[in-house]
Amino acid sequence: MKVLLISPAFDGFARGIPLGLGYLGAILEENNFETRIIDIASQNISNFEFKQLLEDYKPNLIGITSTGANYLNAIEAISISKKILGKDVKMVLGGPHASFGAETILLNHLEIDFCVIGEGELTFLNLVKYLDKPIGDLSSIKGIAYLRNNKVVFTEPQIKIRNLDFLPYPTRHLYDYQDFPSTICENIVSSNSNTELMASRGCLYSCDFCSTKKHWGNYRKHSTPRVISELKDLISLGYSGFYFNDDIFTIDRNWVIDLCESIISIGIPITWSCGTRVDRIDLEMLTKMKTAGCKYIYFGVESGNNYIIQNQRKGTTLRQVELAYELMKEVGIYSACALVFGLPGETIETAKNTVDWVRDKIQPNELWISKACCYPGTGLANYYGITSIDYESKINNRSKNGLIYGSSGIYTPFFNKREPVSELWNYIKSELGNRELLFADEIDIYEND
């Protein structure tokens, strides 16, 4: 059984290393399955080159990951693969979009044989084993969905991996990682020797605009010795800049401090970055993090309006945000702020007030600007009554270049009118343009007809 794992394109911006496929590749290789990974976005692979790779490798099974943002690109890659390889190749779609839209996906795209629901390592391995040597009943494999007699069958949910140290290191030899420096924070942590790793997964929170907790489950982490071991391994490969691709890096304060002390004890100068919440930091922790080489922290601030924040069940206040950025300035760590415009309750006035507040009160070094989108599986989609069927229907009628990360999506009603959005975008550039704006030049305006 030859397995090909694919990370589809993000038109315009490559987010970084597909660590999830790296974990899948590692666990497949441990079980003696020949495996290859293709990262279409980072390698900037054209359709012609993709077809050549398929013809050369000739996999028996393809696993492809997808979020709501690059779903159309995933479907395109699957369609090309079926045309090149024929009907016998098995197609498996995983990732958040497959987890929350499996029934719609399978009924609308018959070229997809299976969807993996939720955390994928155990499920995908068991599915590959079954397809390689069919023994027993397919329905006994936990965590999958598939068609049987034109009806979608969902098997029993897969249990979450409690001890993440069970997982092998993500495979880094299946592709040339010198071609894959992290595009996140790369100018902050290192000039040309970056990579990513994951120390934890899951989340304790249930923000309405996010599906992380539903997809990954509750917070779990690697042990400190395991993280240090992986860091040493990466250092031996020549890396000195690291991005911890965790949802909330500082959930466990004691663990963070212990990890930082262990990093310091390595005695090798490294730089690193992470993302977290404004209410999960303090002066002692930040000081320890900086001493251990932390140069950059990304915070999901979302809005400068307390009502909007509380309505999204974020659980933070504007004062907590202000205090967090005061601490960042005191310690001297480069700060990034992520804003989401168009959440329920947003008006042109509240949006401009957010811009003013960011400019005057928190003053981050860097801004990530995005538009609220109703992805399946989020409370935001439920709020606006957007089902996976709606999402499937509407994105097929819109440009692939609509979403901020480069694909199509269904935005909130705030973006229905062109004039206020243009006014806001011009205001952002005039008031915050002296800071680094990420993804901002990718924003385009589409009506939600």
Q: What is the pLDDT of residues 92-111, one digit of tens each?
A: 999 999 999 999 999 999 99
Q: Which pLDDT band holds residue 437 (cuts at 50, 70, 90)?
A: low
Residue 250 has pLDDT above 90, yes or no: yes
One-letter amino acid at 143 equals G
> CA-to-CA distance for 147 and 301, rounded, in angstroms?
41
Residue 362 DSSP class: I
CA proximity to 6, closest of 68, 56, 76:
76
- Provide the residue count of the chain: 449
Residue 379 DSSP class: H
Q: What is the pLDDT of residues 14-72, one digit of tens each?
A: 467 889 999 999 999 999 999 999 988 777 788 999 999 999 999 999 999 998 878 88
Q: What is the pLDDT of residues 273-292, one digit of tens each?
A: 999 999 999 999 999 999 99
Q: Which pLDDT band holds residue 190 (cuts at 50, 70, 90)?
A: low
Residue 443 has pLDDT above 60, yes or no: no
One-letter amino acid at 105 equals I
Residue 411 DSSP class: B
Output the CA torsion sign for 267, 243, 121, 47.
negative
Helices 283-291 and 318-331 cross at an angle (nearest 10°) of: 40
The helix or strand, by DSSP H or E, that contains position 290, with its residue range, turns out to be helix 283-291
Residue 442: per-residue pLDDT:
43
The helix or strand, by DSSP H or E, that contains position 256, with its residue range, turns out to be helix 253-266
* CA-to-CA separations, 323 to 277, 278, 282, 320, 340, in angstroms, rounded: 12, 8, 9, 5, 20
Residue 449: per-residue pLDDT:
37
Domains of the chain: 2-154 (3.40.50.280), 182-372+412-439 (3.20.20.70)
* CA-to-CA separations, 327 to 26, 283, 331, 368, in angstroms, rounded: 39, 6, 6, 20
Q: Which pLDDT band holds residue 177 (cuts at 50, 70, 90)?
A: low
Phi, psi of 429 (to 5 degrees): -65, -35
Predicted model pTM: 0.90
Name residue, tokens 């199509």.
Answer: 408
Distant-in-sequence contacts of 254-258, Cβ < 8 A, 24+ apart: 255/221, 255/224, 256/285, 256/288, 256/289, 257/284, 257/285, 257/288, 258/224
Per the structure block, which two tokens stand in for 382?
A: 């439920």
Task: Say if residues 273 and 293 touch (Cβ distance below 8 Å).
Answer: no
Residue 220 has pLDDT above 90, yes or no: yes
Task: Say if residues 380 and 208 touch (Cβ distance below 8 Å).
Answer: yes
